[in-house]
Structure 1
């Protein structure tokens, strides 16, 4: 679907990869393409791999023509394609509403301060655009895609690392929404083990978000501990697993060999 040419999308020039945008959104596409170029340069320097890429910046009417992601507004990478929204999406409000019964007063006030009374989550999903760009390095460099929790942890490390080094002004939005994870009652969730992340994803955004938020916290701690070197070592470990005939489950000893902090993270999960 995303490989087709969409009549309503216009090419945007000036970048080392293809960019297309919903008519009227060319300025927004230029802004997002510039960030994409910065992220890819940073990731390529860290991971020693250059992915193929086409960026589509689409409005809601064009979304289904550029990605199979059903939620308009959720950045999504697949193969050599990444789709990002023009701006605010209806599900952002619904997402915040789903957390409301669990929030402490302090978390609620923090969300309101960061995202406004209307709960505009666009700044958070601009950071998720960075997370999705890391997935391009996974999908093009690996034969298979098991160990979803490790892949998501690595993508979060890339997001956190890039924001820390290149765009720290984006971090408060990530931190504000991630803090919701502390308020969600894990006892209410049917899946909490790392290996069960695909099952949680099948249940929907709420269950998946609990994992995602805590994997973001873990990524932040890992980045602080090991920085780019640990980010690359984890990439090399998972890439080796993707090419193994029968990799088996991820073990604490294997994580220790990559970095002791990864073994500790496994031991302390679920948080």
Structure 2
């Protein structure tokens, strides 16, 4: 098997797992965290595995900062419990089979990995299979100590995506479309990083750029937003690679929305999704987003197929 074909199959498998996580939630196996260590002094209630205190402090501080940032912007904060788990503890607290994937359980429990792992590393492509520019971006963005590469920087940030779902689910927003629920979480993620940790923008954006640029749309079963709405369950069950492509498109769209509308675009989106409780057709929804939020948000729907 050629090296490029081998990587393509490996990449499809890892993208499948990423999409599966984004499509579905897991179920917490243990409601008591007494076997974990409790990290004191944070807004976010945090528990961690032995030997994971440093990573727990980093993740808890970031969650606190995200919640504080949005509390000042939209006057709302969700209730979240954070678990920072070692490989040994992972299966005790989640049914999700792959160590390393951040996921948000039972509406209030966010689970993240405490250490680097093969799953994160599996997303790094053979650099000689990429354009020179993209290969340089990946090497620069995802280098670890000793010059090894890992996607840890991207996956650590996905915890904020999951916090985004906590905001809209606990905040009582009516999302209108399934794609809006995911776009909303990515706008929340990108807006926070751009405002408070802009040095992490490459870690957030290079991976989605790689996926979108390396995907041939003709190889996908579904490509439009209406197809996603009509086949959402089918996508997650039978075409998760296809769903992963949608997610990466929403990551890039979130960056465009922030660049054009700043943090006020998110604030206006929050307000209108909280206020508008009646379902809207595509034309009315696009008009609402254009007039009450920002044209860049409406353009996700209006210009998706361009």
In 1: Cα distance, 2:87 partner to 2:185 partner: 26
TM-score by length of 1: 0.87
In 1: Cα distance, 2:238 partner to 2:148 partner: 27
1:209-224 to 2 correspondences below 5 Å: 209-224=244-259
- Match 1:72 to one of 99, 122, 129: 99
1:33: how far off? Answer: 0.7
1:177: how far off? Answer: 0.9
The alignment partner of 1:119 has SS state of: coil
1:82: how far off? Answer: 1.0
User: Runs of 5+ in structure 2 lacking a partner?
Assistant: 1-27
Q: Is the 8 A contact 2:85 2:114 kept in 1?
A: yes
User: Runs of 5+ in structure 1 lacking a partner?
Assistant: none
Instruction: Identify if the C-alpha distance between structure 1 residues 17 and 261 changes in structure 2 by more than 3 Å, giving closer, same or farther.
Output: closer
1:263: how far off? Answer: 2.4
Say yes or no: does 1:254 pair with 2:281: no
1:204: how far off? Answer: 5.9
Q: Is the 8 A contact 2:161 2:186 kept in 1?
A: yes
The alignment partner of 2:46 has SS state of: strand
Look up the match of 1:190: 221
In 2: Cα distance, 1:134 partner to 1:53 partner: 11
In 2: Cα distance, 1:76 partner to 1:52 partner: 15
In 1: Cα distance, 2:127 partner to 2:43 partner: 42
1:232: how far off? Answer: 1.6
Q: Is the 8 A contact 1:127 1:174 kept in 2?
A: yes
Residue-pair matches, total: 267
The alignment partner of 2:251 has SS state of: helix
Say yes or no: does 1:90 pair with 2:90: no
In 1: Cα distance, 2:280 partner to 2:129 partner: 37
Look up the match of 2:180: 150
Look up the match of 1:11: 38
Look up the match of 1:233: 268
State the Cα deviation string for residues 192-220 of structure 1 (Å, max 9, x = none): 12240634333465323311221111111
1:145: how far off? Answer: 6.6
The alignment partner of 1:179 has SS state of: helix
**Further displaced range: 58-67 or 196-205:** 196-205
In 1: Cα distance, 2:94 partner to 2:274 partner: 25
Instruction: Identify if the C-alpha distance between structure 1 residues 39 and 185 changes in structure 2 by more than 3 Å, giving closer, same or farther.
Output: same
1:233: how far off? Answer: 1.7
In 2: Cα distance, 1:250 partner to 1:55 partner: 37
In 2: Cα distance, 1:110 partner to 1:128 partner: 20
In 2: Cα distance, 1:203 partner to 1:72 partner: 22
In 2: Cα distance, 1:202 partner to 1:169 partner: 36
